[in-house]
Amino acid sequence: MNILITAGGTSEKIDNVRSITNHSTGRLGKTIAETFLAQGHLVTYVTTPQAVRPAKQPELNILEIETTKELETTLLEQFAQTAFDSIIHSMAVSDFTTETTLSEETFIDQLSEKIGTLGDLNDTRQLKEHIQISLDEMGETVQDQKKIPSKTDRLLLFLKKNPKIIAMLREKQPQAILVGFKLLVGVSEAELIQVGRSILAKNQCDFILANDLETIQGEQHKGILINALGQTQTAQTKAEIAQLIVNKVEEKWRNQ
Amino acid sequence: MNILITAGGTSEKIDNVRSITNHSTGRLGKTIAETFLAQGHLVTYVTTPQAVRPAKQPELNILEIETTKELETTLLEQFAQTAFDSIIHSMAVSDFTTETTLSEETFIDQLSEKIGTLGDLNDTRQLKEHIQISLDEMGETVQDQKKIPSKTDRLLLFLKKNPKIIAMLREKQPQAILVGFKLLVGVSEAELIQVGRSILAKNQCDFILANDLETIQGEQHKGILINALGQTQTAQTKAEIAQLIVNKVEEKWRNQ
């Protein structure tokens, strides 16, 4: 099979020396890639600079990205060339990218000036609309900031929503067996499964691997694989998760 | 001599899976440490998880921190035990730490509610004060967010100023030969030197190494070492910068 795996975590630049990073060691993605490679499959592996990765080998093609935007571009290039048999989307993708950064002083000046021109502020509904319009204008103003200002006691960072990569995968690769990932923090198993099922349905995945940061510790890594019928199977280590995903993807591929 | 070196870049948590990272490979700090070690000095090396570091050796003590707050605590512990002969503060330290994160909707609700209760908003000076008070209240409200909300089109991240580590160094270690670092981005050499001199004076450093991100490329690394008289010497590589700093610190130590 021809497999695409995403792994690691994206970063979004704040300025030339700072960024917002989604933590992911890439270790689970690496183990999944190695397990597919050991079965003789071809792997295209999209990862990030800080993440660990499988050793170079002929059946492995590694591509590196940093931001969610770069991930989108790289995936669209791949999808224009290749119809993958399966996509394993384990990368931790930033939901938000940086829009603008303002010192508190600039923020207050701009906000008061903008909402001050908009009419009667003593009406709550109007006031909310005025703040909304002002935030939109401030957020969309391109800042020429190579390095954000440090001479203020408080900064306000505007973050705007990134495109949802997982939603694009099924749209562009309808033939692929699609495995999505959902990481939550400190929830019950019932909630983890419920959120996993809803994401599977929403993004038309074949499987979702749902996991909780609080049950990950080195190789120990509890993962619940949910299929399109909502059925679950649980693995306790990264190696077990990788083997479970490879088995399920191979089985589905043989039966289709 | 007994030398303390800080290197790498701090991170500030946004939630359990995201943080704001100050990029620094730690390579210059590593080279400086290796140059001091090669001269037979003792080195205490404070660094961050992602940064490169010198190989383990008997004369080297490595301490790891992540946030600016942890850096402060670790340095204060060291300073309580040891009077260092020299401190080389090359770590990229976050000027700001995360205070709170609000969805745009929550931000607008809270701001309009807060400023709505404060009286006449059609007076600009009063409006500014109301916004200021509201931001303070919002920023200081502790959020119980293990993972920040993703169901919004825009997030507002409040960042507040961290303690200035460099200012604390001279205060706590008056005997140390203190070398500060200043990284700017895309400025003229004249501006770089002017900013370097002002930071040297403000923080009572003995030397400042001023550098510009745009003249750093692998081993090539232009650095201007400024002394307390404002005199400058320029190095072109990390190895040259390290040698220059070691020479100047040793010279000053012999002459004091």
Supply the DSSP string of B194-233, one letter for each residue. Answer: HHHHHHHHHTT-SEEEEEEEEEEETTEEEEEEEETTS-EE
Nearest to A131 among B108, B160, B183 (CB): B108
Nearest to A17 among B128, B154, B183 (CB): B183
Chain segment B81-92, per-residue pLDDT in tens: 999 999 999 999
pLDDT of res. B30: 97
Copy the structure tokens of residue A48. Answer: 């990030």
**More confident: B3 or A118:** B3
Judged by CB atoms closer than 8 Å, whether chains meet at B159 and A158 is answered as no
Q: How many CB atoms lie within 10 A of CB B147?
A: 17
Q: Å from A229 to nearest chain B CA?
A: 26
Element (H, E) at A210: strand A207-217
User: Is B196 within 8 Å of B208 (Cβ atoms)?
Assistant: yes
Contacts of B144 (CB under 8 A, 6+ apart): none
The count of CB pairs under 8 A between chains A and B is 143
CA distance linking residue A43 with residue A32, whole number of Å: 10
**More confident: B205 or B112:** B205
pLDDT of res. A133: 85
pLDDT at B202 over 80: yes
pLDDT of res. A245: 98
Q: Å from B102 to nearest chain A CA?
A: 10
Nearest to A213 among B16, B23, B104 (CB): B16
CA distance linking residue A115 with residue B156, whole number of Å: 18
CA distance linking residue B23 with residue B50, whole number of Å: 9
Burial class (CB in 10 A: 0-12, 13-18, 19+), B245: buried
Question: Which chain A residue has its CA at the smallest distance from B185's CA?
Answer: A146
Mutate to test the interface with B, among A18, A52, A91, A212 (most CBs of B within 10 A): A18
Mutate to test the interface with A, among B11, B13, B21 (most CBs of A within 10 A): B21
Question: Which chain A residue has its CA at the smallest distance from B150's CA?
Answer: A95
Q: How many CB atoms lie within 10 A of CB A125?
A: 8
Mutate to test the interface with A, among B16, B18, B125 (most CBs of A within 10 A): B18
Nearest to A186 among B146, B161, B186 (CB): B146
Q: Å from B247 to nearest chain A CA?
A: 29
Question: Which chain A residue has its CA at the smallest distance from B50's CA?
Answer: A50
pLDDT of res. A143: 64
Q: Å from A253 to nearest chain B CA?
A: 33
Q: Which residues of B touch A16 (CB under 8 A)?
A: 185, 213
Unique residue bearing structure tokens 């300073």: B79
Q: Å from B114 to nearest chain A CA?
A: 11
As a whole number, mean pLDDT of residues B185-201 equals 95
> Is domain B2-95+163-255 in CATH 3.40.50.2000, yes or no?
no
**Mean pLDDT lowest among A170-184, B58-72, B99-113, B190-204:** B99-113
pLDDT at B16 over 90: no
Q: Å from A134 to nearest chain B CA?
A: 11
- Domain limits, chain A: 2-95+162-255, 97-161
Beta bridge mates, A63: A46
Phi, psi (5° rounding) for residue A203? Answer: -105, 10
pLDDT at B119 over 70: no
Instruction: Inform me whether the C-beta atom of residue B52 falls under 8 Å from chain A C-beta atoms.
Output: no
Judged by CB atoms closer than 8 Å, whether chains meet at A157 and B159 is answered as yes
Listed by number, the residues of chain B in 131-190 with a beta carbon closer than 8 Å to a beta carbon of chain A are 131-132, 135, 139, 146-147, 150, 152-161, 183-186
Rounded to 10 degrees, the C-alpha dihedral A239/A56/A206/A249 comes to -70
Copy the structure tokens of residue B144. Answer: 């119980």
Judged by CB atoms closer than 8 Å, whether chains meet at A158 and B156 is answered as yes
CA distance linking residue B111 with residue B109, whole number of Å: 6
Please calculate the CA angle B180-B186-B190 and round it to the nearest 5 degrees.
65
The mean of the pLDDT values for chain B is: 91
CA distance linking residue A12 with residue A19, whole number of Å: 5
User: Which spans in chain A are helix H?
Assistant: 27-38, 68-81, 104-116, 124-140, 165-172, 189-202, 238-255
As a whole number, mean pLDDT of residues B20-47 equals 95
Q: Which residues of B touch A155 (CB under 8 A)?
A: 96, 158-160
Per-residue pLDDT of chain A (256 residues; tens, 9 = 90+): 999 999 999 999 888 888 999 888 999 999 999 999 999 999 999 999 989 999 999 999 999 999 999 999 999 999 999 999 999 999 999 989 988 888 888 889 888 888 776 666 667 777 888 888 888 888 887 665 566 667 788 989 999 998 889 999 999 999 999 999 999 989 999 999 999 999 999 999 999 999 999 999 988 999 999 999 999 999 999 999 999 999 999 999 999 8
CA-closest candidate to residue A221, choices A9, A86, A4, A30: A30
Element (H, E) at A181: strand A177-184
Question: Which chain B residue has its CA at the smallest distance from A103's CA?
Answer: B159
Q: For the domain A2-95+162-255, what is the CATH superfamily, name and number?
A: CoaB-like (3.40.50.10300)
pLDDT at B217 over 80: yes
Nearest to B155 among A112, A159, A213 (CB): A159
Q: Å from B83 to nearest chain A CA?
A: 30
Rounded to the nearest angstrom, the gap between the alpha carbon of residue A33 and the centroid of all alpha carbons in its chain is 18
pLDDT at B149 over 80: no
Nearest to A16 among B11, B132, B185 (CB): B185
Instruction: Inform me whether the C-beta atom of residue B100 falls under 8 Å from chain A C-beta atoms.
Output: no
